[in-house]
Amino acid sequence: MALGNFSRVTEFILLGLSNRRETQVLLFITFLLAYVMVLLGNLLIIVTVMTDPKLSSPMYFLLCNLSFIDICYSSVISPRMLVDLISQRKAIAFEDCIAQLFFLHFVGASEMFLLTVMTYDRYVAICKPLHYTVIMSHQVCWVLVSACWAGGFLHSIVQTLLTIQLPFCGPNTINSYFCDMPPVIRLACTDIYITEWLMASNSGLISLVVFLVLVTSYIFILVMVRGRFTEGHWKALSTCASHVVVVTLVFVPCIFIYLRPFSTFPSDKHICIIYTIFSPVVNPLIYTLRNNEVKASMWKLWKRCKVF
């Protein structure tokens, strides 16, 4: 459809998760607690890693970066969503919607790439322990983390450019609680067949390929260490088990949502809760409750704080 006499949309209306006031209040309390847990849990991990010299290995450096990404990711969605839950009119300006979409994919893709780097770190630690400090040096870790952010930016800028080149002339109601590609491009006043497949090949294919690489890596690690489990191997594999849970929570919903045409399926907003709200909450719990070194360092940090 050509724009013709239609004016360009200047704002979108977010339908949210429910239109019942009682449900909105319950969701507000639940998501507020979740956001506070994300901030406090991940900040605690960052402070613990930065203040304890014993946690100076590449694994904890990468964990610290993952915690920072989780804070950024939740902050892209949660504050706006919490405001909307207590607002009568859930409107978001077109520019703000595009900005949210950009930062969502920027941080989200960076996290996917970082999880891949963390898998590589576990592979080196388990399969090449004697060369670990050389292969995963401080400089290499910084290069890898920088590459994750650069890859996330490149991915996101492509998605954003594909979105803003579409004509939006009405309707302007988004059946979701945040701005993302599937619900937004459904509102375009043109045929989006080519665009949605380009986006699916960008987001969905990247998610699928990275997920398969991670699964293959874990299988390879298990094959390499079978029959020779030492205490160090069990410790590393325990970390891998935590990593697998995080990877599953992040990748499986993303693959389901993005690796298909957007316009032929109903809204996936309830599935999105898994990786936008639930995953950032459980990440600190997964990485701390299964890691005795982190728990011990947190306990020492707590005792030092009590002294002051």
* 2 is a domain residue: no
Q: Is residue 229 part of a domain?
A: yes
The pLDDT mean for the chain works out to: 84
Query: How would residue 1 be classed by pLDDT, with cut points 50, 70 and 90?
Result: very low
pLDDT of residue 278: 87
What are the pLDDT digits (tens) for 161-205?
Answer: 989 988 888 788 988 899 988 888 888 888 888 888 888 777 888
Question: Considering the domain boundaries, does residue 99 fall inside one?
Answer: yes
Give a yes or no: residue 54 inside a domain.
Answer: yes
Tokens at residue 39, please? 């901030």
Q: How many domains does the chain have?
A: 1
Q: What are the CB-based long-range contacts (under 8 Å, 24+) for 17-26?
A: 17/177, 17/269, 17/270, 17/273, 24/85, 24/86, 25/85
**What is the pLDDT at residue 208?**
86
Residue 113: which CATH number? 1.20.1070.10
Residue 188 phi/psi, 5-degree rounding, is: -65, 145
Residue 5 belongs to some domain of the structure = no
Q: Binning pLDDT at 50, 70 and 90, where does residue 148 land?
A: very high
pLDDT of residue 3 exceeding 70: no
Residue 132 above 60 pLDDT? yes
198 occurs within a structural domain: yes
Torsions phi, psi for 290 (to 5 deg):
-100, 10
Place of tokens 């030492």: 230
User: pLDDT tens digits, residue range 236-288?
Assistant: 666 677 778 888 888 888 888 887 766 555 557 888 888 888 888 888 888 77
pLDDT at residue 308 above 70?
Answer: no
Residue 84, in any domain of the structure: yes
Residue 153 lies inside a defined structural domain of this protein: yes
Range of the domain at 251: 11-307
Strands, sheet with 173-174, edge to edge from the N-terminal-most edge strand:
91-93, 11-14, 173-174
Asked which of 77-91, 117-131, 144-158, 191-205 is least confident by mean pLDDT, the reply is: 191-205
- Predicted local distance difference test score (pLDDT) of residue 175: 87
| pTM for this entry | 0.88
